[in-house]
Amino acid sequence: MSETDKTTCFEPWNEVGKKPLIEFRGVSKKFGALTAIDNVSFSIYEREFFALLGPSGCGKTTLMRMLGGFETPSQGQIFIDGKDISTIPANQRSVNMMFQSYALFPHLTVADNIAFGLKRSDMPKSEIAGRVDEMIKLVQLGNLGGRKPHQISGGQRQRVALARSLAKAPKLLLLDEPLGALDKKLRQETQFELVDIQEKLGTTFVIVTHDQEEAMTVSSRIGIMDQGKLIQIDTPDRIYEAPTSVRVADFIGDVNLIEGNATTTANDKITIDWAEGQPALTAQTTANIKDGTKITFAIRPEKIAMSAKRPDDALNAIEGHIHDIAYLGNISIYKIRLASGHMIKAQAANTRRLSRRNYTWEDKVWLSWTETAGIVLTK
Amino acid sequence: MNFRKYLLILIPYSWLLLLFLVPFIIVVKMSLSDTEMAIPPYYPYFTLSEGWQGIVNFFSELDFENYIFLAEDNLYWKAYLSSLKIALISTFFTLLIGYPIAYGMANAQPEWRPTLMMIIILPFWTSFLIRIYSWMGILSQEGFLNQFLLWIGIIDQPLTILNTNVAVYIGIVYTYLPFMILPIYASLEKLDISLLEAAIDLGCNRSQSFWLITMPLSKAGVIAGCFLVFIPVLGEFVIPDLLGGADTLMIGTILWQEFFANRDWPVASAVAVVLLLLLMIPIILFQRSEQKQREAEQ
């Protein structure tokens, strides 16, 4: 990637007339009576690092296996580079896959594993060894080329699998839970390496994961899947800050969900009546909401401020008692019980030592936030 | 604590010593003796009643005469070679038929696999002898096979199959097929399906992925199956005796004749000892390949 590309924002999905690399058009997949994929349409652009995120069984792996050629859609079409791929068998697609189990060939050495795809391609024999060395360098495998897969560690196996799937320089690389088998620390390091490699090569990556932190770290856009449907596709920050549905808000990160009835006050402001004896909340929204509509107000714990006295200038302020405190080291999560029975989570950074903490169990506190801190959701 | 541990080991070791090593030493001793028209039909006997002198006399009577006889009479060498040939060819055919069956079983729907396994094992539940006699009924001149071939018009004269080497091969391949199928099936069933998907993903077609992935990864099962067939077939005597003809020469049959027809126990024992030494080569090879496999899996 050149310097000019880095400074300008990489947002091909916003460019008018830009041709996508991959396009799903009304794709469904049924296994017997079970609908694994339900009428999915979306596009992935060249050089994107696209994450498919969702709980297990949501259909994300099936969606990826369709790209790889291991499943065929029951309905709809998939295009790569404008070509319908339904008639191209898996071994002739310019798509490679890194398997969840790595699927390294146990009887071949690391170098032979990496060379496996090259030997099936039309690459001249004399160039294969050079390409293998290049891939070994890319994933920093040092002098492990002569080892067998069972003689190296899990992290090294992951690198071999990556090198093998990248060796043929595919247009599209599919990664099925690529870091799932690594421990947490190694996983975090590898996430950044994966991004580096992707930027260096400019290959389009599609990753399937159930780990939202991983998806947020590596991807340019995330597609959230639930029960066979893609419920939102957006950049990581927008998925977190501006979810379009309660399900997305609830799936990504921690969130307080408050149900209530909306009344429009100004053209972009509403008040929310949500519990008897509690002051109405004020929130900003661009959506056009009719008076009396049932809505869900979503607010992240870290957007809520806690204070011992009612803040004078706060638009939204409610009173409660501390029910529970979860101490996580860098932050603490407070569970606040309101008089109405609601339980609200608030998060505070532990800037002071634990012994000098301001609040403790059963303390009376005020929770407050601005009118733009939360999101109004209608579905 | 230590004593109890040794006691535990002692039980299987004394089992092997009494029921394996002692009979083997008796056979070796017999093979070094001379034939005698007596009961038992060999000389010298081992007795402790004459004291030390008796033991010295006993050992001085032993010689390698029978082994020299085996080497000089070319019947025995021909029989050993012919057994080796029959064992090799029938192992090859068992593999040729067994591998596709095992492959089919491993690729069947999981709920069908126990049933298929049962079908493979089922013949073991009837007597081996009865099954071989049934083959005599199938392969004879008036047997089912000839009747069937005459009926569909492929032949107009019944074929002579029974009492030839062809019948021996058919009998051996039929009898030993499960020993080939089961280890190959076990190694194919373990095969991770994602390895084959990875091979296809990297550009293999189906036959390439079979020869490059499935075949090498089921090698251990193939080797185990081949040895499990080859080793017992080398010493086989019932099948050649019942299905074979005058020109079927196998060392197992020779051994049987020496013991029971000629009552030449010392020569028969020598034949058995040489057969055992011959079998030890494949058995050691088999164990080494097993060992390597275990090391690779660790």
**Residue B3: is its pLDDT beyond 90?**
no
Whether B183 is covered by a domain: the verdict is yes
- The partner residues of A343 in beta bridges, in order of sequence, read A337
Please judge whether B201 and A164 are an interchain contact, meaning their C-beta atoms are less than 8 angstroms apart.
Answer: no
**Distance (Å, whole) CA A374 – CA A303:** 8
| Position B184 pLDDT exceeds 90 | yes
Please judge whether B201 and A96 are an interchain contact, meaning their C-beta atoms are less than 8 angstroms apart: yes
Optimal mutation site among A100, A105, A118, interface B, most CBs of chain B within 10 A: A105
Residue ranges of chain A whose CB lies within 8 Å of a chain B CB: 68-70, 90-92, 95-97, 99-101, 103, 105-107, 116-117, 120-121, 148, 150, 164-165, 168
What is the domain class of A3-249 according to CATH?
A: alpha beta
CATH number, position B178: 1.10.3720.10
Q: Tell me the pLDDT band of A3, cut-offs 50, 70 and 90.
A: very low
Chain B closest CA to A291's CA: distance in Å?
Answer: 55
Contact A117 B202 (CB under 8 A): yes
Contact A91/B194, CB-based, under 8 Å?
Answer: no
Q: What is the mean pLDDT of residues A37-54?
A: 92
In terms of DSSP bridges, do strands A305-307 and A364-369 run parallel, antiparallel, or are they unpaired?
A: antiparallel
Under an 8 A CB cutoff, do B199 and A105 touch?
A: yes
Report the residue of chain B nearest A68, measured CA to CA: B201
**Could you give the CA distance from residue A80 to residue A65 in angstroms, rounded to a whole number?**
14
Q: What confidence score (pLDDT) does residue B297 get?
A: 63
pLDDT digits (tens, 9 = 90+) for B140-176: 988 899 999 999 988 888 888 899 999 999 999 999 9
Nearest CA in chain A to B216: A107
The pLDDT confidence band at residue A5, using thresholds 50, 70 and 90, is very low
For residue B175, the model assigns a pLDDT of: 94
Chain B partners of A157 at a C-beta cutoff of 8 Å?
A: none
Sign of CA dihedral B207, B209, B212, B214: negative
Min Cα separation A242/chain B (Å): 38
pLDDT tens digits, residue range A252-283? Answer: 888 999 999 888 887 788 888 888 888 888 88
Q: How far off is chain B from A211, nearest CA to CA, in Å?
A: 22
Query: Which residues, at least 6 apart from B237, have a Cβ–Cβ distance to it below 8 Å?
Result: B250, B252, B253, B255, B256
**Contact call for residues A299 and A258 (beta carbons, < 8 A):** yes
B4: how many CB neighbours lie within 10 A of its CB? 7
Domain coordinates of chain A in residue numbers?
3-249, 256-377
Size of interface A-B (CB pairs under 8 A): 60
Query: Does residue B5 fall inside a structural domain?
Result: no
Q: What is the pLDDT of chain A when averaged over all its residues? A: 88
Can you give the pLDDT at residue A24? Answer: 92
Interface with A, mutate which of B187, B197, B200, B201 (most A CBs under 10 A): B201
With an 8 Å Cβ cutoff, are A120 and B216 in contact? no
**Residues forming a β-bridge with A96:** A173
Amino acid, single-letter form, for residue A26: G
Cβ-defined contact of A168 to B202 (cutoff 8 Å)? yes
Q: Which one has a higher pLDDT value, B290 or A101?
A: A101
Alpha helices (H) in B73-143, listed in sequence order: 74-106, 113-121, 128-139
Q: Average the pLDDT over each of A62-66, A86-90, A242-246 and give the range with the smallest value.
A: A86-90
Q: Output the six-digit token pair for A246.
A: 């309660």
Asked if the model's pLDDT at residue B206 lies above 80, the reply is: yes
> What chain B residue is nearest to A165 in terms of C-alpha separation?
B202
Chain B residues with CB within 8 Å of chain A CB: 192, 194-195, 197-205, 208, 212-213, 216-217, 219, 296-298
* Domains: count for chain B: 1
Summary mean pLDDT of chain B: 90
Q: What does the block give as tokens for A247?
A: 């399900």
Select the residue of B200, B208, B296 nearest A90 (Cβ to Cβ). B200
Predicted-complex ipTM score: 0.81
Interchain proximity A120–B213, CB inside 8 Å: no
Dihedral in degrees, nearest 10, Cα atoms B103, B106, B109, B112: 100
A341: phi then psi, degrees, rounded to nearest 5: 95, -10
Strand partners, A319: A366
pLDDT single digits (tens) A9-26: 788 888 878 889 999 999
Chain B nearest-CA residue for A105: B195
Spell out the long-range contacts of A307-310 with Cβ–Cβ below 8 A and sequence spacing 24 or more. A307/A365, A307/A366, A307/A368, A308/A358, A308/A359, A308/A363, A308/A364, A308/A365, A308/A366, A309/A366, A310/A366, A310/A368
The amino acid that residue B49 corresponds to is: S
Q: Residue A90 is nearest to which of B192, B201, B297, comparing CB atoms?
A: B201
What pLDDT, on the 0 to 100 scale, is given for residue B298?
Answer: 57
Residue B27: HSE in the Cβ half-sphere, 13 Å Cα cutoff: 17
- Say how far apart CA A161 and CA B201 lie, in whole Å: 12
pLDDT of A309:
87
Q: Find the mean pLDDT for residues B85-104.
A: 96
The partner residue sitting opposite A103, judged by closest CB among B198, B204, B219, is B198
Q: What global pTM score does this model have?
A: 0.81
Nearest CA in chain B to A169: B202
Say if CB A115 and CB A128 are below 8 A apart.
yes
How many angstroms separate the CA atoms of B228 and B231, rounded? 6
Closest among B190, B177, B192, B188 to B225, alpha carbons compared: B177
CATH architecture of A256-377: Beta Barrel (2.40)
Query: What is the mean pLDDT of the segment spanning B201-230?
Result: 93
- Distance from the Cα of B140 to chain A's closest Cα (Å) equals 48
Residues of A with Cβ-Cβ distance to B204 under 8 angstroms: 91, 120
With pLDDT > 90 as the criterion, what percentage of chain B qualifies? 54
Task: Please give the average per-residue pLDDT across B254-261, as a whole number.
Answer: 89
Rounded to whole angstroms, the Cα distance separating A135 from A142 reads 10
Option in B192, B297, B298 nearest A103 (CB): B192
Kindly state the tokens that stand for A256: 């307080």
C-alpha distance from B217 to closest chain A C-alpha (Å): 7
pLDDT of res. B1: 61
CB contact under 8 A, B296 and A148: yes
Domain that holds residue B90: 73-297
Name every chain B residue with its beta carbon within 8 A of the beta carbon of A164.
Answer: 202
Q: What is the mean pLDDT of residues A181-191?
A: 87
Determine, yes or no, domain membership for B157: yes
- Chain B residues with CB-CB distance to A92 below 8 A: 203
